[in-house]
Structures are given as C-alpha cells and as structure tokens.
Amino acid sequence: MGALNIITYIFIIIGLFFNAVGVFGLHRFPDMYTRLHAATKCTTFGSIFLIMAVIVQSAGIWAMEGAFSSQSILSIHAVIALVALLITNATSAHAIARAAHRSGEKPARAVVDDLEGKDIDD
Amino acid sequence: MMWLPAAIVMMVCIVIAVVRIFIGPGAPTRLVAFDTTNTLVVALLVALALMFEQVVFVDVAIVYAVLSFIMTLYVARFIEGKKF
C-alpha cells in the first residue's frame, strides 16, 4: 500500500500543478487563441493525472479487498469518465478555434493571416 | 489522504476561471473560459467521489462532460454564425 500511496501523491501533485498553470495562462495571455492553447492543453493534462490518481487509489483498494469491493464500480466508472473527457476536450477545443477564426477574430498584434480566404466551406 | 487539499485547490482554480468568464472580452474568450471550467468541474467531481466514497458523483461527472461538450459545440456554432 505504501508504493501505491506514493504514486497517488505524485499524480495528484502533477495534476494540480498543471491545472493551476492552465488557469494562470487563461489570465496572462493576450488574445483568445493563446488562451485556448494554454487553458485546453494544460487543463486536459492535469485532469487526466487527477483522474488517474483516483483510478490508482480505488484499484488498489479493490485489489486489497477482493472481487466484490465497492471500489470496483468507482474504478471502472472513473475510467469511463477519463475516456469521455479525452474525447470531448480535444473536439470542443477544435470547434472553438474554428468558430472563432470564421467569425473574424484576429490574434493580438497579428500582421499576416496565412488562412485568409482559405476557409473551405462544408 | 490529501483529497481535501486537492479539492480546495481545484475549487480555487474554478473560481479564478469563472472570473475570466465575467471579465473576458468577446464571446470566444468567454467560451474558452467556460470550457476550462467544465473540465475542472469534471476532475473535481471524480476526486470528490473518492473522498466521500459516493459512486454517484462519477456518473454525474460522465453526464456533465458529455452535456458540456454538446453545449460547447452549440455555442461555437452560434459564434460561427451559421444556421443549424
């Protein structure tokens, strides 16, 4: 149980650090695209590690208590939540960036827009 | 365990992200801040499920993730200015 606790602590610390960095970048960057970059990447990474800590801890209790532990449901459902988070975060970030570019949002201090007039209508 | 300090840090992060929803200029910035808030809320719910030993919180987190994804797609479509 000792090694499992150490792994859980490390995962929690990594997750909290990256979540804090993502929220910090949400306030420090100048325009919408850089904020999206900082917030989405760091927050997804941090949330993955925080949920991984929950999975490791509950799976450890499950393995210790035997097959009919109440932690088995928590462990399996946490894996499902992790997969849902992985799929939805990347897709919604892409949708936000595409919608913002098509609505005419410009990056801060931008000189050249390489995608000007190259939008393919679906 | 350190689930209570972790939950408190996550709540502080959520409050800081909600501040950006209110002061952020323009709709896309607010949508980015809202997406960040949703991700943090899902992670906090999964952590609270282990802290309180309630499996229901994880199910709520799964449904919250999927519904917030649908909301984000809907608002992005609205910002893009297209018909549905």
What's the pLDDT score for residue B16? 93
The rounded distance, in Å, linking the Cα atoms of A108 and B25 is 13
Decide if A92 is inside a domain.
yes
Count the domains in chain A.
1
Q: Which residues of chain B have pLDDT under 70?
A: 1, 83-84
**pTM for the predicted model, two decimal places:** 0.90
A55: Cβ–Cβ under 8 A, 6 or more apart, which residues? A75, A78, A79, A82
- Choose among B6, B42, B59: nearest Cβ to A77: B59
Q: Compute how many other C-beta atoms are within 10 angstroms of the C-beta atom of residue B3.
A: 18
Decide if A95 is inside a domain.
yes
Query: pLDDT tens, position by position, for chain A (122 residues)?
Result: 688 889 999 999 999 999 999 999 999 988 889 999 999 999 999 999 999 999 999 888 888 887 777 788 888 999 999 999 999 999 999 999 989 888 877 887 777 777 776 666 55
Interface of A with B in 42-101 (CB under 8 A): 43-44, 46-47, 50-51, 53-54, 57-58, 70, 73-74, 77-78, 80-81, 84-85, 88-89, 91-93, 95-96, 98-100
- Choose among B62, B68, B81: nearest Cβ to A77: B62
ipTM of the complex model: 0.89
Decide if A108 is inside a domain.
no
> Using a CB-CB distance cutoff of 8 angstroms, which residues of chain B are in contact with residue A5?
1
- At A32-54, the pLDDT tens digits run 899 999 999 999 999 999 999 99
Q: Where are the domains of chain B?
A: 3-80
* Owning domain of residue A52: 2-102
Decide if A93 is inside a domain.
yes
Decide if A116 is inside a domain.
no
Decide if A11 is inside a domain.
yes
Contact (CB, 8 A) for B46 and A54: yes
What's the pLDDT score for residue B81? 81
CA dihedral B26, A20, B54, B35 (to 10 degrees): 20
Decide if A112 is inside a domain.
no
The rounded distance, in Å, linking the Cα atoms of A104 and A99 is 9
What's the pLDDT score for residue B12? 94
DSSP A114: T
The rounded distance, in Å, linking the Cα atoms of A51 and A47 is 6
Nearest Cα of chain A lies from the Cα of B83 at a distance, in angstroms, of: 13
